[in-house]
Amino acid sequence: MMKKLLLPFAVLAFTACQQQAKQEGSENKALPISNPGSVTVYTTADSAGLRIAKTASLPFVDMPQPLETQPCIFIDPRNQFQTITGIGAALTDAAAETFAKLPTGKQQEFLKAYFDTTAGNGYTMARTHINSCDFSSGSYTYVKDGDTALTSFDISHDKQYRIPFIKQCIAAAGGKLGMLVSPWSPPAFMKDNNNMLEGGKLKPGYRQHWADYYVKFIRAYEAEGIPVWGLTVQNEPMAKQRWESCIYSAEDERDFIKAYLGPTLQKNGMQDKKLIAWDHNRDLIFQRASTILNDPEAAKYVWGIGFHWYETWTGGDMQFDNLRLVHQAFPGKHLVFTEGCKEKFNLDSVYNWSLGERYGNSMINDFNNGTVAWIDWNILLDETGGPNHVGNLCFAPVHADTRSGELIYTNAYYYIGHFSKFVRPGAKRIAASSSRSQLQTTAFQNIDGSIVVVVLNTTSQRIPYNLWINGRAAATESMPHSIVSLVL
């Protein structure tokens, strides 16, 4: 029997800032902290068994110019960057079906763990799919085969599990959850391979019908009480997958946006929906962004560029420099992490510490390179890493053992929580610099003026350091394989 990690409600004492940004991109009016008094430390560490636990309240003391021998994390709130939209995860068919199998008490525990701002991670964003995806129990669309007029459009399929699940998540989040929607494939009859699976391309003659389909979906979900914040054009448009997929070259996506999807959204009064292009890995992100955003007629409809982290399939590292280049080249657009997970699920590996460290590394570097929102993949999966109708089984931060009705919290849940719990919508990223490569860091100032500094240590070393701000410092220590949120 596997040992179950208990969600540490008792130690999650920090009450996060609840006020939402008054408007997107609003300025943080709080003055920089010039004379900090103390900082509260929340820690997750491997060997210590700590999970977002309040571990210290540290005083600041005067510290003039640090020496090179004194490791420091330097913070300067006077230098502010992008405004954070939110953090969350995907509410898929698989998550909804797994949730439905849980006992009522465990369902409530799950909702509290993810959406409660005091006793949980305080998620504020979500993503879901238009039509089926691989994390569905089977392939489906919302129209009958060949119905170009879309008169048969019906989301009844989603009313069994997914829509009720999403509604409970919205309620648990306080009635507001920014929802991003993404298609994996148009209906088979609209594609040149006549199959929702195995790639294929949208037939030119169906581009307007497909653009109308997005509008139908958004209206149907909003009629169910699920407001849609934004949409992506296509999930992973360069991947021919054995599951639902559809290929767009950069030029295909550009032309579909400017001639069909963008105008159709505008014509239907949906110009406020955030349209996000690419929605694929960091490897080709600059080529895709430059092709679309250097065309003024396409760029005017595009709010941002979405990306995933699976470029590591080549055996290389995550390519954060490509994000930085997109951010530098197109500062008026927004970077959004739209999906990531550890693939090739194995139940024996749910407590592998590298799961969370991958999240910590990605989130710190994504935010430091201009990302405004970060959305994980499946919020919940079962003990098999599914359900998934093509066997593409993966890890989630939380798994449900549907045989016993228990929840399994991987350390990825806690690593994400070090950001989502403390960094609230409307926060500004502020300058943060580490004098040691072993300590990765990023920092934010919430709209209430509180500052949150995240420090990641993926080494086996115990590293003393000083949190330094404006000539004052708090001495602390980074545990091996740990992540901390320092709140002041």
Cα 310 to Cα 182, 242, 424: the distances in Å are: 17, 16, 27
In a domain, 316, yes or no: yes
Say how many domains are in the chain. Answer: 2
The whole-number pLDDT of residue 340 equals 98
Cβ proximity of 336 and 304 under 8 Å: yes
Q: What is the pTM of this model?
A: 0.94
DSSP letter assigned to residue 328 = H
Last residue of a domain, one of 425, 447, 468: 425
Closest CA to 51 of 398, 465, 418: 418
8 Å CB contact between 416 and 359: yes
Least confident of 11-15, 29-33, 84-88: 11-15
Render pLDDT for 174-202 as a digit per residue (tens, 0 to 9): 999 999 999 999 999 999 999 999 999 99
CA distance 456 to 322: 22
4: in domain: no
Inter-axis angle of helices 162-172 and 93-100, nearest 10: 80
Predicted confidence (pLDDT) at residue 359 exceeds the cutoff of 50: yes
Count of C-beta atoms within a 10 Å radius of residue 220: 17
CA 309 to chain centre: 11
Q: What is the mean pLDDT of residues 29-42?
A: 79
Note whether 295 and 288 are within 8 A (CB): no
Question: Is there a domain that residue 449 lies in?
Answer: yes
Dist CA 12 CA 50 (whole Å): 11
Strand partners, 231: 181, 275
- Residue 440 CA to residue 428 CA, distance in Å, equals 18
Q: E strand or H helix at 40, and its extent?
A: strand 38-45
Residue 13 lies in a domain: no
Q: Is residue 14 part of a domain?
A: no
Q: Measured between alpha carbons, how far is residue 458 from residues 5, 72, 291, 480 in Å?
A: 21, 17, 37, 7
Q: 215 and 348: one domain? A: yes
pLDDT band at 20 (very low <50, low <70, confident <90, very high): very low
- Contact between 453 and 466 under an 8 Å Cβ cutoff? The reply is no
Contact 233, 261 (CB under 8 A): yes
Among 387, 402, 425, which residue terminates a domain? Answer: 425
Looking at per-residue pLDDT, the higher value among 19 and 219 belongs to 219
Kindly report, residue by residue over 57-107, the tens digit of the pLDDT: 999 999 999 999 999 999 999 999 999 999 999 999 999 999 999 999 999
Share of the chain above pLDDT 70, in %: 93
Return the amino acid letter for 127.
Answer: R
- Residue 124 is assigned to a structural domain of this protein: yes
Give me 293's structure tokens. Answer: 């955003």
Is there a contact between 318 and 362 (Cβ–Cβ < 8 Å)?
yes
- Residue 213 pLDDT exceeds 70: yes
Q: How far lies 122's CA from each of 86, 89, 129, in Å?
A: 10, 11, 22
Query: Which residues are tagged catalytic?
Result: 236, 339
Cβ neighbours, 10 Å, residue 47: 11
Instruction: Kindly state whether residues 323 and 463 are assigned to the same domain.
Output: no
Position 123 pLDDT exceeds 80: yes
Of the CA atoms within 13 Å of residue 114, those in its CB half-sphere come to 34
Structure confidence at residue 29 (pLDDT): 52
Residues 419 and 445 in one domain: no
Identify the pLDDT of residue 26. 42
Query: Same domain, yes or no, for 76 and 116?
Result: no
3-state secondary structure of 158: helix
Helix (H, G, I), strand (E, B) or coil at 84: coil
Q: Which residue has the higher pLDDT, 204 or 32?
A: 204
Asked whether the predicted pLDDT for residue 28 surpasses 80, the reply is no
The CATH number assigned to the domain holding 479 equals 2.60.40.1180
95 & 78 share domain: no
* Burial tier of 353 (Cβ tally within 10 Å: 0-12, 13-18, 19+): middle
pLDDT of residue 18: 37
Q: Does the structure show a pLDDT above 90 at 32?
A: no
**Predicted local confidence at residue 33, as pLDDT:** 72
For residue range 378-403, what is the model confidence (pLDDT) as tens digits?
A: 999 999 999 999 999 999 999 999 99
Q: If you ran DSSP here, which 8-state letter would residue 56 be given?
A: E
Q: Verify that 76 and 101 share a domain, yes or no.
A: no
- Mean predicted lDDT score pLDDT of the chain: 94
Which of the listed residues 381, 404, 425 is the one where a domain comes to its end?
425
> Same domain for 155 and 267?
yes
d(Cα 231, Cα 321) in Å, to the nearest integer?
A: 25
- Report DSSP letters for 409-455, one per residue: E-HHHHHHHHHHTTS-TT-EEEEEEESSTTEEEEEEE-TTS-EEEEE
Q: Taking residues 310-319, report their average pLDDT.
A: 97
Tell whether 48 and 124 lie within a shared domain.
no
Which of 314 and 31 is assigned the larger pLDDT?
314
Task: State how far the Cα of 285 lies from the Cα of 277, in Å rounded to an integer.
Answer: 10
> Is residue 423 over pLDDT 90?
yes
Q: Give the per-residue pLDDT at 13.
A: 38
β-pairing, 61-62 with 50-59?
unpaired
Any domain includes 369:
yes
351 and 276 inside one domain:
yes
Distance CA 166, CA 370 (A): 29
What pLDDT, on the 0 to 100 scale, is given for residue 36? 86
If asked whether residues 295 and 390 sit together in one domain, one would say yes
Q: What is the 3-state secondary structure (H, E, C) of 283-308?
A: CCHHHHHHHHHCCHHHHCCCCEEEEE
pLDDT band for position 31 (50/70/90)? low
Q: Tokens representing 303?
A: 């709010």
Alpha helix ranges (H) inside 42-176: 93-100, 104-115, 162-172
Q: Are residues 270 and 391 in the same domain?
A: yes
Strand order in the sheet with 406-409: 381-382, 398-401, 406-409
- Range of the structural domain that residue 450 is part of: 38-82+430-487
128 and 154 assigned to the same domain: yes
pLDDT band at 163 (very low <50, low <70, confident <90, very high): very high
Residue 236 included in any domain: yes
Residue with tokens 């000539």: 471
Please report the pLDDT score of residue 37 as a whole number.
Answer: 87
- The enclosing domain of 183 has a CATH number of 3.20.20.80
